[in-house]
């Protein structure tokens, strides 16, 4: 057996070179020498060199992957500041919130007739001011006055009957039953007289509060029926605000919470406070109604029906 090819194979493996000859045990096969192997290996190395030169070198700090930015070194002894997750939430909670509102009157009423009669006086026209206790409407009550006088006379007559029967009863000149009947008639006459006196009080309609006339539904000399509306009046001095707010504001809003209100019509701004929170939420719009009051006594030219914007600053 020829040991020379085996020796060449071992030498090529030791040098890391590919072996280009195949061992053939026949005597006709050419002898393979180390010089035949080395030129082949050198040629293979030369062919692979340009390919290696054309391949760009990977970026610093990466291995077989995209480049990654190197971290910025912090100053010696200083750790990077951590972000405070509560800071954005706190800033959002302190932002001003706005809601639309309408100015309404604390005292507002529609006055109706308390008896069926003719209007004789109606001194205040629409827009005019009046004081508490002023006569706003006066009726023709001549018939009622006459009926009241008749009832008073009948009551006095029954009173005399009772007194006479009481004297007769002391001498047993009248039965107990007759005395009780006369007392019952006296009580009936008193009741009729009191009813007519109460009706007499309806002959004049006085102002329940100071304010202004907003609408007249009836005129002087017209005949009205019982319960028929005649006047609409409003107190322009005592005002409040109807505001519609999101129901989630209940997390921080409560009675006494301050706000500022700017009236659209006049451009004036006033301070106010939440007076009442209605215990009802609209399930569709998730809104609710609150009532506010002006903090100051003077509201300038503000009147009921004006609208504006209320600005709140969430507490806490």
Whether 303 and 103 have beta carbons less than 8 Å apart is answered as yes
pLDDT in tens, the chain (316 residues): 455 555 555 555 555 545 444 444 444 444 444 444 444 444 444 444 443 334 444 444 444 444 444 444 444 444 444 444 444 444 445 688 999 999 999 999 999 999 999 999 999 999 999 999 999 999 999 999 999 999 999 999 999 999 999 999 888 888 899 999 999 999 999 999 999 999 999 999 999 999 999 999 999 999 999 999 999 999 998 999 999 999 999 999 999 999 999 999 999 999 999 999 999 999 999 999 999 999 887 788 899 999 999 999 987 6
Residue 229: inside a domain: no
Do 144 and 289 belong together in one domain? Answer: no
Last-in-domain residue among 183, 204, 225: 204
Do 192 and 246 belong together in one domain? Answer: no
Is pTM beyond 0.85? Reply is: no
Question: What is the torsion angle, in degrees rounded to the nearest 10, for the CA atoms of residue 108, residue 211, residue 230 and residue 304?
Answer: -50
Residue 288: inside a domain: yes
Residue 248: inside a domain: yes
Residue 265: inside a domain: yes
CA 198/CA 211 separation, integer angstroms:
26
Burial of 167 (0-12, 13-18, 19+ CB in 10 A): exposed
Residue 266: inside a domain: yes
Rg (C-alpha) for the chain, rounded Å, is: 54
Domain count, the chain: 3
Residue 126: inside a domain: no
For position 289, which CATH number holds?
A: 2.40.30.170
What is the extent of the structural domain holding 176? 140-204
Residue 293: inside a domain: yes
């Amino acid at each position: 057996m020829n040991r020379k090819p085996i020796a060449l194979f071992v030498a090529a493996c030791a040098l890391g070179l590919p072996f280009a000859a195949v061992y053939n045990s026949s005597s006709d096969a050419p002898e393979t020498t180390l010089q035949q192997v080395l030129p082949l290996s050198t040629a293979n190395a030369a062919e692979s060199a340009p390919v290696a030169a054309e391949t760009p070198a990977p970026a610093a700090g990466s291995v077989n992957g995209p480049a990654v930015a190197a971290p910025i070194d912090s100053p010696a002894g200083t750790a990077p500041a951590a972000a405070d997750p509560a800071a954005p939430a706190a800033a959002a909670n302190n932002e001003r919130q706005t809601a639309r509102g309408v100015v309404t009157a604390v005292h507002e009423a529609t006055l109706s007739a308390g008896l069926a009669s003719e209007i004789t006086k109606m001194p205040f026209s629409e827009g005019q001011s009046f004081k508490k206790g002023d006569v706003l409407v006066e009726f023709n009550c001549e018939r009622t006055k006459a009926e009241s006088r008749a009832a008073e006379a009948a009551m006095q007559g029954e009173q005399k009957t009772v007194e006479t029967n009481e004297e007769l009863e002391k001498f047993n000149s009248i039965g107990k039953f007759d005395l009780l009947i006369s007392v019952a008639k006296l009580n009936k006459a008193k009741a009729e007289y009191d009813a007519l006196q109460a009706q007499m009080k309806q002959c004049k309609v006085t102002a329940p509060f100071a304010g202004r006339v907003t609408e007249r539904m009836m005129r002087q000399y017209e005949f009205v029926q019982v319960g028929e509306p005649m006047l609409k009046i409003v107190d322009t001095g005592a005002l409040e605000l109807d505001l519609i707010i999101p129901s989630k504001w209940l997390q921080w809003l409560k009675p006494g919470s301050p706000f500022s209100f700017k009236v659209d019509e006049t451009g004036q701004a006033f301070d106010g406070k939440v007076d009442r929170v209605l215990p009802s939420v609209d399930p569709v719009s998730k809104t609710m109604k609150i009532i506010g009051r002006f903090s100051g006594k003077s509201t300038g030219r503000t009147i009921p029906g004006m609208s504006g914007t209320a600005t709140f600053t969430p507490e806490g």
